[in-house]
Amino acid sequence: GDSVTQMEGPVTLSEEAFLTINCTYTATGYPSLFWYVQYPGEGLQLLLKATKADDKGSNKGFEATYRKETTSFHLEKGSVQVSDSAVYFCAPMFNDYKLSFGAGTTVTVRA
């Protein structure tokens, strides 16, 4: 069946370090792919998305590319800030209306 696997955390980084969070999926079709972020004490919000192969989503310095050949959607940021400390969720949409969330990766950025 359809499934998503996300790199487990927690991840602790220093400011200006490079961040990558791996996300791979297994699907019978071609899902739309999302990354959501949850800041402490808040609900989730969309960080970026990609709807077809080779699309690149980007927002707030984060990027992720829809890789059909490797069924991956890895999240990257070149230089993190303390304000990027949050939980990040990879979320393919395998079926209409229904997101399937990865386990979440907690990222802490130290000054």
Q: Which residues bind other proteins (CB under 8 A)?
A: 32, 34, 38, 42-46, 49, 51, 87, 89, 93, 96-99, 101, 103-104, 106
For other proteins, the closer CB: 60 or 98: 98
For other proteins, the closer CB: 34 or 80: 34
**81-87 own/partner pairs: CB under 8 Å, 24+ apart:** 81/15, 81/16, 81/109, 82/15, 82/109, 82/110, 82/111, 83/109, 84/19, 84/109, 85/39, 85/40, 85/109, 86/37, 86/38, 86/39, 86/40, 87/37, 87/38
For other proteins, the closer CB: 49 or 77: 49
What separation in angstroms does the CA of 43 have from each of 14, 37, 88?
Answer: 25, 8, 12
| Smallest gap from residue 66 Cβ to other proteins (A) | 14
For other proteins, the closer CB: 69 or 96: 96
| Smallest gap from residue 91 Cβ to other proteins (A) | 9
| Smallest gap from residue 44 Cβ to other proteins (A) | 4
